[in-house]
Structure 1
Amino acid sequence: MKYTSLLMVALYLGFGIYILQSSQEQMAFPQQYKYILGGMLVFYGLLRFVRAYQQYFKKNRRND
């Protein structure tokens, strides 16, 4: 499950960066919509990374 979470993080971040960097010929959206959508995808990818890190990779300090 943790590798699936990391894969989704990479997909959200990658697609968000792609949208932010794409030209008008690649995506026929107005520039402000591309900024909003790309920013939301990057933010959500970062949020998923933090949650996956806390759930799967951070040691539980209460059990130490």
Structure 2
Amino acid sequence: MLNLPTTEERLGKSPQRLVRYFVLVMALVYLGLGVWLFWSAGEPSGGGLLQLGPTGRRVLGGVFILYGLMRFIRGYQANFRKKPNFDDNE
């Protein structure tokens, strides 16, 4: 049987490190999309890609902004916040 190294052994780090940054990047993408939709609602051409009225673009942009903020906060809390140590008995 071949004794092949695992991905973690070859890379020297866990793939989970990449996932936690990807979560934050995707949250920023949602925020950026929401801001673009919200501010492009006033353009006369309607932005080109989405054929929505100004009110629809603002509502959809607001939803994307709120969703991006929620994902960013939850991703930060889950991956970057220091975990409390409950093993200490005072």
TM-score (norm 1): 0.88
Tell whether 2:23 aligns with 1:11.
no
- Mark the runs of 5 or more structure 2 residues left unpaired by the alignment: 1-18
Q: Which of the pair is proportionally richer in helix? A: 1
Alignment RMSD: 1.5
Aligned length: 64
CA distance in 2 between counterparts of 1:12 and 1:24 reads 24
Equivalent position of 1:24 in the other structure: 44
Tell whether 2:61 aligns with 1:43.
no
Off by >6 Å, runs of 4+ in structure 1: none
Q: Which is worse superposed, 8-17 or 24-33?
A: 24-33
- Mark the runs of 5 or more structure 1 residues left unpaired by the alignment: none
Larger relative contact order (CA 8 Å, sep ≥ 6): 1
CA distance in 1 between counterparts of 2:67 and 2:44 reads 24
Sequence identity percentage: 34
